[in-house]
Amino acid sequence: MTETLLINFLILLLPVIIYLIFLENKISLTNKNLLLVLGAITTILCMSYPIRLELGFTFDLRYFPFIIASLYGGYKVGFPLYIVINVYRLIIGGNGIIQSFLLSTVIFLLVPLLHKRFMRLSSTRKIGCAAMVALGIILLFISTLTMFYETLNREYWIVSINAMTIYVVCMIFIMILVEQIHHNILRRERYAQAEQINVINNLSASVSHEIRNPLTVTSGFLQLLNKSKTLTEDEKMYVDWSLKELNRAEKIVSDFLALGKPQSQNMVHSNFKEEAEYVKNVITPYANLHEVTVNLSFSNTLSKKYDKNQVQQCLLNLYKNAIESMIDNGGTLNVDVTNHANSIIIKLEDNGNGMTKEQIRRLGKPYYSTKDEGTGLGMFMVYNTVTKLGGKIDVKSEVGKGTTILITIPA
């Protein structure tokens, strides 16, 4: 029995190893097709090497891939795996097909139900949750067996307890591996982004400064030239265009400058109220122009040390993005600054055009923009500033419905 158990365990490790060696850099861990393919292979292998207990019934770890895949992937992954389990069970044949079918149906109906809640849990809780599910399933399995045994003797109980321990311990072990892989991937991504930020920071501060002066001088002279009476219509147009382009260049330069280090002369110890109100006042004419209403509600009582200019710029970028997303149909931007536990929470809710999952994933990467005139530096700066403050950003968005951006900053 130990031998087959080890084989089963090895089979369960197989997808983990395959993922780690071949797919880690290419496919997200929660990709549904990935879960499905690896899940199906593992299920079939597990069912091919069942553990035969002396009591006469067989027992295997076939529900492991099912539990893990459907907790991470929901019904979309659970359903095909359910089919795989039952079709393969039919092919294997033998006694207990009906019981196995009923049991798998119950499991299929219940486990994927947890998917949404499961995905919101922290790593440790995910592991705990999966272990509880495994325990539940093995209890269900054991209780269906009682139907075959009139006398529940000592042997039955020993086997049951062993089976329970195996299920729970194996599940905890595999889940720790899965979550650790997930954690490593996230850490590597964050590290790469931090590196990128570093490079841009160093370059931007020096280069932007040097470019700004010639830009200002050129734009000044062009404005003077524009006032000249001897210019023809065409020449005036060229000057206007040049000024417009210079303006754009200046905008990019100031975006870059804002990315630099916090300046000591700008540091304040405050609660974000002034900044949020200032930005609201600055942006209101722009919002009105596009039939967007901006509501600000403030109830934060905590304070924090930050660079005033950077926070203003950061909020301005967020307000602007939200308004720009509602440019076609108008709408409302609700900004809410509160505190919860020991954190300051800034929530921006718009009912604009929203983002796809892929867009959310790329949000905050430098130069990522979907707008013709966009620089793709706005959100990059936001992420940068919030990270500097030790905070985090959660984005929820639905195409056509709107976007909610939740910034949590520890006070």
Q: Interface residues with ligand ADP (CB under 6 A)? A: 317, 321-322, 325, 350, 352-355, 359, 363, 368-371, 374-380, 403
Which one of ligand ADP, Mg ion, none interacts with residue 403, CB within 5 to 8 A by kind? Answer: ligand ADP
d(CA 21, CA 194): 25
Q: Which does 383 bind (CB under 5 to 8 A by kind): ligand ADP, Mg ion, none?
A: none
Residue 193: contacted member of ligand ADP, Mg ion, none (CB under 5 to 8 Å, by partner type): none
Closer by beta carbon to ligand ADP, 235 or else 394? 394
Provide the β-strand partners of residue 396: 404
**Out of Mg ion, ligand ADP, none, which partner does residue 310 contact, by CB within 5 to 8 A per kind?**
none
- Amino acid (1-letter code) at residue 82: Y
Q: Which is nearer to Mg ion, 191 or 367 (CB)?
A: 367
Output the smallest distance, CB 320 to Mg ion, in A: 5
- Give the shortest CB-374-to-ligand ADP separation in angstroms: 3
d(CA 132, CA 167): 10
Minimal distance, residue 258 CB to Mg ion, in Å:
12
Q: Between residues 107 and 294, which has the closer beta carbon with respect to Mg ion?
A: 294
Nearer to Mg ion, 125 or 251 (CB): 251
Residue carrying structure tokens 């069912």: 47
Query: Is the separation of the CB atoms in 375 and 251 below 8 Å?
Result: yes
Closer by beta carbon to ligand ADP, 343 or else 384: 384
φ/ψ of 298, rounded to 5, equals -125, 125
Residues 318, 62: Cα–Cα separation, whole Å: 48
- With CB atoms as reference, the residue minimizing the distance to Mg ion is 378
Which of 80, 378 has the CB closer to ligand ADP? 378
Residue 49 binds which entry of Mg ion, ligand ADP, none, with Cβ cut-offs from 5 to 8 Å by kind? none
Helix (H, G, I), strand (E, B) or coil at 391: coil
Compute the least distance from the CB of residue 368 to Mg ion, in Å.
10
Q: What are the CA-CA distances from residue 88 to residues 10, 40, 144 (Å)? A: 20, 10, 20
Residue 85 near residue 47, CB atoms below 8 Å: yes
Q: How far is the CB of 397 from ligand ADP (least distance, A)?
A: 6
Question: In this structure, are strands 331-340 and 292-298 parallel, antiparallel, or unpaired?
Answer: parallel
Q: Which residues here bind Mg ion, judged by CB under 5 A?
A: 321, 378
Query: What span, in angstroms and rounded, lies between the C-alpha atoms of 290 and 4?
Result: 68
Determine the 3-state secondary structure of 379 from DSSP. Answer: helix
Alpha-carbon 128 to chain mean position: 21
